[in-house]
Structure formats: structure tokens, C-alpha cells
Structure 1
Amino acid sequence: MKGITRTFLTGLAAILPLLVTIVLLLWLSNTLENLLGTILQWVLPEMLYFPGLGLITGIGLIFALGLLLRAYVVQGIFNWVEGWMQRIPVVKTIHGTVRDVTRLFSSDIRQRFGEAVLVTLPGLEGKLVGFVTREDFSGLPDNLGGEGVIAVYLPMSYQIGGYTLMLPKERVEPLNLSLEDAMRYTLTAGVSARKHDN
């Protein structure tokens, strides 16, 4: 019986990520089509509307938003809205989690972190995966940083938190992984990892 259960769970683990991805993509495309398609049917003459126009319009609007967010003024408005959402008790939890996950897979990760590193803490034989977030402490209190000190963020698995440590540079060694692979490795507790090609 254990063998049957193990075989079933192995198959489930293999197919579940694919199914979840397909379901999410179908849900997003259906939502865009239903929402925007209905609006377009009201606005456009009947002969100009065709099935799928809502999805195409949604993709275009998302792309346009991406372009607009490059403008400084629009970024300020967007950051103000995000700050406002972070004050609402239940909304801030959902919004923060979704935002962090999407930033993980966007180029934003390169703006937030300098490089992936391995950190050795005093009294520990093990090492932790971390990300350099600051090397220049000018403008900050003297006891926060200093000569030969860097700030390293140590995320916890499954995005439940993390710590920012001020460490001497000799406690940190470069990790030969891309930021995306190192973050994926850390957030999945080492389950998701790819061999680095030299």
C-alpha cells in the first residue's frame, strides 16, 4: 500500500505544478476576456467585436501599464497606491505576498539585490544563502554599517520572513548562482535547484 501511495504522490508532484500553471493562465485569460470583452461589446459596434478581443486588449493594457511605470510621475502614483494598500489589514497580507512573488520572477530582483552569497555565522558550521543589499552606508548612522561591512539579506524559506545582517566582508563568499536560481533555492528550502553550468 505504501508503494502505491508513494507512486501516486510522485505522479501528483510531477503534474501539479503544470496543472496549476495551466489553470492560472486559463483563469487569467478567461477573466480578461469576460471583463474586458463585456465592456468592449458595450462600446464597440457588434461587427468590430470578436471572441478573444478582451484577452488581446487586456494584454495590451498590461503592456501599456509596464511602459507607463517607466515614467517617474506614474511610479510615484503607483507607489502611493501601494503604500495605501499596505495600511489595510487583510489586503496588505495578500498584496504583499503576491507582490513579492511576482517581483521574484521579474527583473526587479536585480535592482533589489547585488549578488547571491554564502554567509558563515560565528559558531555555526553550516552556511546560509544570502543576498547583498548594501555596501555603502553613507547617510546612515555610524553603528549601522562601517568600513568592511556589508548588509546581507537572509530570506527564510517559503517567503515567511527574513533577516538583514551587517556582516564583515570576510564572512561572505560569492555564490556561483544567478539571483533567480539562488532565490528559488532559498524560498523552496533547497527543493528547487538547478546545477550551475560553468
Structure 2
Amino acid sequence: MTLLLRRWLIAGLLVWLPLGVTLLVIRFVVGLLDTSLLLIPPAFRPEIPGLGVLLSIVLVLGTGAIAANYVGKRFVLWTEALFARIPLVRTVYGGMKKLAETIFSDQSVSFRQPILIEYPRKGIWSVAFLTGSPIGEVQDKTADHVLTCFVPTTPNPTSGFIVLVPEKDVIRLKMSVEEAMRLVISLGVVTPERTDPPADPPPPTP
């Protein structure tokens, strides 16, 4: 009877845990996007759940359409020049702009390549993501050509460590970014399928 109850408990948790976490994430994202309704005066603000999501999408697309034309580009440049004169704002805004440009660039490989590196020491392997190739002083003061790698923490991949690893020591994985993220978030329980057939076992020693 105890084994049966334990089996039912595990089966129930396997159903509700992923579902509950998914619902919480969706609720958080929808609630965050719903804050765009604050732009509408309270007297005209409709009480429709999820309307802020649609409004946020419209705002982002509209901003992109304006910023893509000549007048919009000039306004964006003027705004950036204004922000560059404010000490704290220029640091935050400049860093976030550079990060967004790097991630969303068509030529960027940031977070699009799962890799395997020996971290935190030789002989211990960690799943990481290639974020770029450093230039300037960082590269000039290293003997080898290094790559910037992000090692996410488990089970929260939004935090982690930045390490500079020689390119010759980086193993590029064939798994997708989504598969690598599932591996990290699940504490290694959810592993992707093999992309290559397993190697033949070594012959027995006589």
C-alpha cells in the first residue's frame, strides 16, 4: 500500500509541478506586460485581463516602426546623446543597449551555441553558452585566443558566471539552446538524446 501511495504521489507531482511552474511564469509575464495599461488614464482603462499584453506588443511594434524611419532615427540619436550626459543613466542605458544589440544582431552568436568547458577546474565539466569573443585589453593580455562563456547556475539560469576560456579548450555541442537550458534547469535530470551513435566499447584486455 505504501509503494502504491508513493507511486501516486510521484505521478501527481510530475503532472502538477511542471503545470504549476508554467502557469506561474505565464502569470508573471502577463502581469508584467499588463503594466502598460498604466499609460491609459484610469477613466478610460478597460478591465480586460491580458489586454496589456496586446497593448505592449502594439507599443513595441509601433516604436520599432517609428525608430526605423529617418525622423525616428534622429530622435533616438538625440535621446541617446541626452542620456550620455547623465552619469548614472549613461552607464545603465549604454550597457543595456550594447547587450541588446549584441543579442539581437543577425550576426551575433550570443547564447546561440551551447558549449562544454572544464569549470570550475580541470577534469570537471560544465555546460555553458558562448556569448562572444573579447577584444581589446582582455584579449591582448591572454596568451591564447579566448572566448567569453556564460556558465548558468542551477536551477536558476538567469544568474551565473562569466569565464574566459581558450578557444582550443571549448567543446561545441550539437544540442540546441532549449535542450541545454532544460538540462540546466532540471538539475541534469532532463538530458537531450544522443546526436552521435555511442562509441564501441573497448576490447577486453587479455
TM-score of the alignment, normalized to the shorter chain, above 0.5: yes
Distance 1:188 1:107, change over 3 A: farther
Do structure 1's residue 167 and structure 2's residue 165 form an aligned pair? yes
State the shift of 1:14 in Å: 1.8
Runs of 5+ unmatched residues, structure 2: 68-72, 84-88, 94-99, 197-206
| Aligned-partner Cα distance in 1 for 2:127–2:153 | 10
Contact 2:33–2:56 (CA under 8 A) maintained in structure 1: no
- Please state how far the C-alpha of 1:114 moved relative to its aligned partner: 4.8
* 2:201 aligned partner: none
Give the secondary structure class of the aligned counterpart of 2:115: strand
SS of residue in 2 equivalent to 1:128: strand
Q: Which has the larger radius of gyration?
A: 2
* Structure 1 equivalent of residue 54 of structure 2: 60
Partner of 1:10: 11
CA distance, structure 2, for counterparts of residue 116 and residue 28 of structure 1: 26
1:88 matched residue in structure 2: none
The alpha carbon displacement at 1:69 in A equals: 6.3
How far is the alpha carbon of 1:63 from its aligned partner? 0.2
Match of 1:116? Answer: 114
Provide closer, same or farther for how the CA distance between residues 28 and 193 of structure 1 changes in structure 2, counting only shifts above 3 A. same
Instruction: Name the structure 1 match of 2:96.
Output: none
Aligned to 1:158: 155
Partner of 2:146: 149
Matches within 5 A, 1:3-82: 3-22=4-23, 25=26, 42-43=43-44, 52=48, 55-56=50-51, 58-67=52-61, 68=63, 71=67, 73=76, 80=89
Q: How many residues get paired?
A: 166
**Residue 137 of structure 1 contacts residue 146 of structure 1 at CA under 8 Å; is this kept in 2?**
no
Larger RCO of the pair (alpha carbons < 8 Å, separation 6+): 1
Contact 2:154 2:187 in 1 (8 A): yes
- Could you list the per-position Cα deviations for residues 19-69 of structure 1 after superposition, in whole angstroms to 9, with x for gaps in the alignment? 443466578779989x95xx789338xxxx8x84x634x232110233236
Q: Against the structure 1 CA distance between its residues 180 and 59, is the aligned structure 2 distance closer, same or farther, given a 3 Å change threshold? A: same
Pick closer, same or farther for the CA change 1:61–1:111 going to 2, 3 Å: farther
| Cα distance in 2, alignment partners of residues 66 and 135 from structure 1 | 30
- State the SS of the aligned residue for 1:158: coil
Counterpart in the other structure of 1:184: 182
Determine which structure has the larger helix proportion and give its number.
1
Structure 2 Cα separation of the partners of residues 182 and 192 of structure 1:
9
Distance across 2 between alignment mates of 1:7 and 1:131: 38
TM-score by length of structure 1 reads 0.57
SS in 2 for 1:159: coil
**Structure 1 unaligned spans of 5+:** 85-102
What amino acid is aligned across from residue 182 of structure 1 in structure 2? A
**Superposed CA RMSD:** 4.5
**Equivalent residue number for residue 98 of structure 1:** none
User: Could you tell me whether the CA contact under 8 Å between 2:114 and 2:127 is conserved in 1?
Assistant: yes
On the 8 A contact 2:109/2:130 being kept in 1, the answer is: no
Deviation, 1:2, is 4.3
Query: In 1, are the aligned partners of 2:139 and 2:145 still within 8 Å (CA)?
Result: no
